[in-house]
Homo-oligomer: A and B are copies of this chain.
Amino acid sequence: MDTKKDLTRLRKKLDELLHLRSALALASWDQEVNMPPAAAESRAAMTAYLSGEYHTKLLALDENGLLTGLDAARRNHTLKPRGAAMIRELMRDYTLAAKLPMAFVIEFAELTSRAQHIWAEARSKNDFPLFRPWLEKIVKLSRIKAELLGGNRPYDTLIDTFEPGMTSEELSITFVELRDALVTLVGKIRANKTKIPKGPTGTSPIADQKSFLDFINLKMGFDAQAGRLDPSTHPFTNGAHPTDVRITTRYNEKDLWTSVGSDIHELGHALYEQGLPVKETGTPLAEAVSLGVHESQSRFWENMVGRNKNTWEFLYPEMRKRFPAFRKYGLDDWYRHLHAVTPTLIRTESDEVTYNLHIIIRFEIEKELIEGSIGIKDLPEIWNQKVRDYLGIRVPDDAHGVLQDVHWSGGMIGYFPTYTLGNLYSAQLHEAIRKDMPDFDKKLAKGNFLPIRDWLREKIHRHGRFYSAPELMRRATGSSLSVAPFAAYLTEKYSDLYDL
């Protein structure tokens, strides 16, 4: 066996997989941003075909024992560290893919594709019974999926597909601690009489907002030569290749924070993608390590930078110059406006404090769903009770309750927890960067964001999947997953804002 030749051969196969991923990423971006409506069906067929080709080619990595041979070399310690990490991660991807028979992959894809349409209809009609049999099938197939993939607990297996190495036990312990802290904080805030100002009145034209976002993105280190910003209904980041990272935002002429907040959030994702080691593109060493870590980047920029008052010391004069609506509206009001805490029914409209309670509700429910300890018919009632317990509000109907999110209909059980992981990680990174960079706030106030991007690049981005997510975070922050930094960050900030 000639390891060097085999690595070259493998790299060629990885390039082909990369090309298919790039084509799929472009098709997906285009679908959200540009695609004419009549093309929906032909696009779905094209995407399904390329996905099938991708699955086949992924399995073909081990043609003639190529990948397993290299994995044996890795276990014999004959590979250099980067090569070894690459093979380790490829084996993970390959093994997961190989465990799912093609017939199952197709059945799952078809079911979830149809279920998403049913879910959309059920949500718009506020008709949970319509969605119920579909959710039953999805839960059933998800259990089968977990069984096929193996592992001790089905829900852990599902979580692991989004957040490698994470377990429901670790999440449960963490989330209980977080939930208690949040419920207390929300209670205090709600009991308090402090009034948070509304945003300014007046209209900010979308073209001017776009130009302001371009200014922000440039300052924060987005490489516009290797990416773009477009409008879409649901903001997202699409990294077809480190040289082609596209973000989207949504605009509201009456509310500038809608576009700015979404933009800075997606920018965080984009900086991660643009910061991956471009020379290793196509290999796991140039891929994001987990959804939780990805979300830590978006949340860090959105909250720790985008909601930091110092950032607005820098951005506010610029905003005033561009938007007449802000000429008679003060920086202090704006800052306080960005921190209004109001329990809402809808997760995606919730604030920095209550957001994670929405996630915890979903985590607790989907865990029991998969374990079979609750029945699907009881879901609405369980949901509504938890919203009352944790957020203190009453759910008027299922469209504003259990039917609000797309994830379950898309077969993504185990995905929700990564949002909260991202928030916790972002606060840990925030604590760590302040230690390394005592003038963090001063940098923000001067609009000197690049050293912050570069710190994240150094600590997170450039590593790809070389380390596991927990190891990467431990190296970056000096500690493992922890609630304390996030709880401290919120408590300090909101005690001040609300005079608690």
Contacts and interface: CB of A to CB of B under 8 A. Distances in A.
B19 A244 contact: no
A39 interface: yes
A26 interface: yes
Interface in A115-168: none
Contacts of A170: none
Given A19-B49, A23-B50, A50-B23, A227 B42 contact: no
- Those 9 A-B pairs whose CB atoms lie nearest each other, nearest first: A39-B244, A38-B226, A19-B49, A38-B243, A19-B46, A42-B241, A39-B243, A38-B225, A23-B23
Number of identical monomers bound together in the oligomeric complex: 2
B23 A243 contact: no
Interface string A32-46: 001111110111011
A224 interface: yes
A37 B228 contact: no
A100 interface: no
A22 B37 contact: no
A214 interface: no
Contact of A26 (B19, B27, B38, B224): B27
A441 interface: no
B228 A41 contact: no
Contacts of A46: 18-19, 22-23
Given A36-B243, A42-B22, A244-B42, A16 B225 contact: no
Interface in A446-499: none
10 contacts: A18-B46, A23-B46, A35-B244, A36-B243, A36-B244, A37-B225, A38-B225, A38-B243, A39-B241, A39-B243
Nearest to A30: B26
Contact of A224 (B22, B36, B41): B36
A351 interface: no
A44 B391 CA distance: 52
A217 to B, nearest CB: 13
A15 B244 contact: no
Contacts of A241: 39, 42
Contacts of A19: 45-46, 49-50
A223 interface: yes
A18 B49 CA distance: 10
Contacts of A45: 15, 19
Given A26-B27, A34-B228, A36-B225, A243 B41 contact: yes
A227 to B, nearest CB: 6
Interface string A236-265: 000011011000000000000000000000
Interface centre among A16, A49, A225, A244 (most CB of B within 10 A): A244
Given A15-B45, A30-B30, A223 B22 contact: no
A23 to B, nearest CB: 5
B223 A38 contact: yes
B43 A244 contact: yes
A18 B39 CA distance: 14
A23 B24 CA distance: 8
A22 B45 CA distance: 10
Tell which of A19, A41, A227 has the most Cβ of chain B within 10 Å: A19
Contacts of A244: 35-36, 38-39, 42-43
A207 B244 CA distance: 27
A35 B228 CA distance: 8
Interface string A197-230: 0000000000000000000000000011111100
A226 B36 contact: yes
Contact of A243 (B42, B225, B228): B42
A22 to B, nearest CB: 5
Nearest to A40: B243
Interface string A154-189: 000000000000000000000000000000000000
Contacts of A22: 42-43, 46
Contact of A226 (B16, B23, B39, B243): B39
Nearest to A31: B26
A241 B38 CA distance: 10
